[in-house]
């Protein structure tokens, strides 16, 4: 029997049976999707490129087909909520034939899988809506598993419906805990499930094709993606930075639109109210427009809702990344804007640290990205903006301020220009090799700084976190390998690969774009010591507690990321050795933070977030959930210095949907106060400044650490901009 015929017959049989068996429910099944001719040709062309030019060249054979099959099901049904085990068993007939589907330009089999997914999803939404009329008994001791990725698919239809009953019950209970009455809850949830079903009907064959192609590309390596014509256009807009929006890179995780990256200088980053991992559950237009529930929405539809005209207002209802299932939803108001190079420019502050011998000045340079105004440079503008140029100016200003040490703050710096990373390294190391690159052929090139001279030879520190990636990791790794300074913070992201974008239409010489683009990995970065920043990232010399879930964010969160490996070291020589300082610096650091109330509060926050992630079940008993919320409020009050948060039922500020106005209790105000205090009093930055001050003391042969951070904070003396030295 020809490829996919059995599978196609199975899907059609299921469709016919369901139509007949469920006619009384009036399910609005979407029409069966069929592949277009140009999609099959685009798949074949992409396969040719990936097999020949990808850094990890993998032949498209039965082995890869099995991985694509698994990745495809995972992308469609990551939480095992829609398909039944019997569906998976039937679909597996083509597990090792998806390679043939691409090579023979016959995509009926992957489309049949997608069509079955759509039908199952429509059924689940219909069942969810049917439960709302009766309501639920919240005195029963039931639990719901939060993360089902590692669980099997439901064995029977009854098992699937029981799973969905508990999910709907939890959705209802969340709103009930927010103080809503039954009528309001029914309205919110009915619209949520109905909208989800309606969106399924709007899915096109291009959407299904892109889902399958990304299952293929990411089965090879996580940073390789297929971009259909619509996605390719959006990618081009983003690369030109002409998109008016909030400045956030979004992804879909477990049904939630999740912030993957904050663009330096964008409204989201500047607000200080959002961070990587936050989940967007509602989007509202203007100051008072109705809030649209986007739970379960498609990524591109949510992005389209967030975009808008310049200077317009958008409101986001957000579930914080470090919050549990009952975390308070906060509303963030942002004004859309176009992001420019100036918005992400380097800035500096001078901190005064109290020591046993008096005051010590430490300069902190915050660099949001490794930017470069390429257009101005190509026009011959001698004063074009770039990260290295701006930091060089700031270092001159800091010298004039007579600082004794410099800290480069690269937290949440996702990278940028490789040339800027090399030249910035040169400001602290001179004309030296900075990073090695190996391409798909195995050829290795060494990037050496030849343009910038040494601008700072004094004590140096680099502050990083999980959001520090790519060019940030290159800089931090070079500082560490040369023994030039201290690296402080969390292990970095671990992205040590290089991608390029190929236009399939350009290769095929199509006058009209119909094939889309292919973003694929073509090279890998290596440190001068021969190791790589890939997967493991840069491990700090003095490590802070992880603020997020490393299993969810960072290169190691991808199951098929390229492995860590090593090549021959470059020809380089260390310029220093901080290893002799580390024992004393660590001892002083630990002694100081033990007495730092804010730092200890941060440790408690981290521990609590980790406990929430480990506990993979949630109670569906209202009394149990209210006790858990009361305990959270009590703990929050203690962290806020004894402020009364109250334990009134319904303290959560819940999602405002369909124009319904929900209560905002004192707990939400206290949470906002805590966030504001943390924004002003950057605990981790302050401690990094103190550590660097200690390093200066050791270099001077002194034996007394900087004053206890709980008693004396570094005091900002002056803030500097990237160009000139105007006060800010």
| 181-182-187 Cα angle (round to 5) | 105
446: enclosing H helix or E strand:
strand 444-448
Residue (of 430, 331, 421) closest to 370 by Cα position: 421
Cβ atoms of 670 and 645 within 8 Å: the answer is yes
**Alpha-carbon distance values, 558 to 207, 222, 671 (Å):** 23, 7, 32
Three-state secondary-structure class, residue 282: strand
Other beta carbons within 10 Å of 614: 7
Cβ atoms of 36 and 109 within 8 Å: the answer is no
CA dist 305 and 283 (Å) reads 7
CA dist 253 and 351 (Å) reads 40
- 495 flagged as catalytic: yes
Active-site pick, 328, 495, 517, 693: 495
Strands 279-285 and 313-319: antiparallel
CA dist 256 and 299 (Å) reads 9
Q: Dihedral angle at the C-alpha atoms of 57, 63, 66, 68, nearest 10 degrees?
A: 10
- 328 flagged as catalytic: no
Active-site pick, 322, 481, 541, 682: 481
If you count them, how many residues does the chain have? Answer: 728
Q: Helix count (H) and strand count (E) of the chain?
A: 22, 22
- 470 flagged as catalytic: yes
Q: Which long-range contacts (CB under 8 A, 24 or more apart) does 87-91 make?
A: 87/116, 87/120, 87/153, 88/153, 90/7, 90/10, 91/7, 91/10, 91/116
CA dist 464 and 691 (Å) reads 14
Active-site pick, 417, 468, 470, 547: 470
Residue (of 443, 445, 424, 420) closest to 435 by Cα position: 445
| 720-726-728 Cα angle (round to 5) | 60
Three-state secondary-structure class, residue 512: coil
Cβ atoms of 245 and 306 within 8 Å: the answer is yes
Half-sphere exposure (CA, 13 Å, Cβ side) for 104?
13
Residue (of 468, 513, 456) closest to 494 by Cα position: 468
- 21 is written with which tokens? 């068996």
CA dist 605 and 602 (Å) reads 5
Residue (of 520, 524, 529, 522) closest to 563 by Cα position: 524
DSSP annotation of 45: H
Cβ atoms of 404 and 689 within 8 Å: the answer is no
Strands 256-262 and 248-253: antiparallel
**Residues with catalytic roles:** 470, 481, 495
């Amino acid at each position: 029997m020809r490829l996919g015929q059995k599978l196609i017959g199975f899907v059609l049989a299921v469709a016919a049976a369901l139509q007949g068996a469920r006619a009384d429910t009036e399910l609005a099944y979407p029409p069966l999707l069929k592949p277009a001719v140009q999609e099959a040709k685009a798949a074949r062309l992409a396969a040719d490129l990936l097999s020949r030019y990808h850094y990890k060249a993998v032949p498209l054979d039965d082995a890869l087909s099995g991985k694509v099959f698994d990745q495809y099901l995972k992308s469609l049904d990551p939480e095992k909520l829609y398909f039944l085990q019997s569906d998976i068993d039937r679909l597996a007939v083509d597990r090792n034939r998806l390679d043939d589907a691409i090579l023979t330009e016959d995509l009926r089999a992957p489309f049949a899988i997608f069509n079955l997914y759509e039908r199952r999803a429509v059924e689940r939404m219909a069942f969810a809506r049917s439960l709302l009329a009766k309501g639920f008994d919240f005195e029963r001791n039931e639990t719901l598993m939060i993360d089902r990725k590692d669980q099997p698919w439901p064995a029977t239809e009854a098992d699937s419906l029981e799973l969905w009953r508990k999910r709907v019950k939890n959705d209802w209970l969340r709103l009930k805990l927010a103080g809503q009455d039954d009528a309001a809850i029914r309205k919110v949830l009915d619209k949520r499930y109905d909208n989800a079903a309606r969106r399924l009907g709007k899915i096109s064959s291009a959407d299904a094709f892109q889902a399958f192609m990304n299952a293929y590309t990411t089965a090879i390596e996580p940073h390789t993606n297929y971009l259909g014509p619509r996605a390719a256009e959006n990618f081009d807009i983003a690369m030109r930075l002409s998109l008016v929006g909030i400045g956030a890179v979004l992804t879909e995780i477990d049904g939630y639109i999740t912030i993957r990256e904050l663009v330096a200088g964008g409204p989201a980053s500047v607000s200080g109210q959002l961070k990587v991992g936050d989940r967007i559950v509602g989007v509202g237009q203007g100051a008072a427009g109705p809030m649209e529930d986007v739970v379960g929405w498609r990524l591109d539809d949510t992005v389209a809702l967030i975009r808008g005209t310049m200077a317009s207002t958008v409101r986001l209802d957000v579930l914080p990344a470090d919050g549990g299932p009952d975390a308070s939803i906060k509303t963030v108001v942002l004004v859309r804007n176009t992001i420019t190079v100036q918005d992400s420019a380097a800035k500096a502050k001078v901190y005064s640290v109290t020591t046993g011998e008096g005051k010590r000045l430490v300069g902190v340079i915050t660099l949001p990205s490794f930017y470069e105004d390429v257009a101005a440079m190509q026009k011959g503008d001698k004063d074009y903006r770039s990260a290295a140029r701006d930091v060089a100016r700031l270092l001159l200003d800091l010298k004039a301020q007579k600082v004794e040490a410099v800290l480069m703050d690269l937290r949440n710096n996702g990278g940028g220009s490789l040339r800027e990373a090399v030249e910035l390294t040169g400001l602290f190391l001179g004309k030296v090799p900075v990073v090695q690159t190996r391409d798909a052929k195995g050829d290795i090139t060494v990037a050496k700084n030849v343009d910038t001279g040494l601008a700072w030879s004094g004590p140096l520190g680099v502050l990083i976190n999980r959001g520090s990636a790519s060019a940030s990791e290159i800089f931090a790794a070079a500082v560490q390998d040369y023994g030039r300074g201290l690296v402080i913070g969390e292990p970095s992201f671990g992205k040590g690969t290089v991608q390029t974008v190929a236009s399939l239409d350009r290769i095929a010489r199509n006058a009209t774009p119909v094939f889309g683009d292919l973003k694929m990995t073509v090279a890998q970065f290596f440190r001068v010591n021969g190791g790589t920043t890939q997967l493991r990232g840069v491990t700090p010399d003095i490590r802070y507690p992880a603020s997020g879930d490393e299993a969810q964010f960072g290169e190691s969160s991808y199951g098929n990321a390229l492995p860590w490996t090593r090549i021959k070291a470059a020809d380089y020589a260390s310029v220093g050795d901080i290893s002799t300082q580390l024992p004393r610096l660590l001892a002083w650091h630990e002694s100081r933070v033990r007495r730092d109330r804010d730092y200890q509060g941060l440790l408690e926050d981290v521990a609590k977030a980790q406990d929430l992630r480990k506990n993979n079940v949630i109670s569906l008993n209202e009394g149990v959930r209210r006790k858990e919320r009361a305990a959270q409020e009590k703990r929050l009050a203690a962290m806020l210095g004894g402020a009364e948060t109250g334990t009134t039922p319904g303290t959560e500020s819940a999602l405002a949907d369909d124009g319904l106005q929900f209560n905002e209790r004192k707990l939400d105000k206290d949470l906002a106060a805590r966030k504001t205090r943390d924004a002003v009093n950057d605990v981790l930055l302050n401690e990094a400044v103190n550590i660097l001050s200690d390093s200066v003391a050791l270099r001077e042969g002194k034996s007394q650490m900087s004053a206890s951070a709980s008693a004396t904070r570094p005091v900002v003396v002056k803030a500097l901009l990237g160009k000139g030295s105007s006060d800010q």
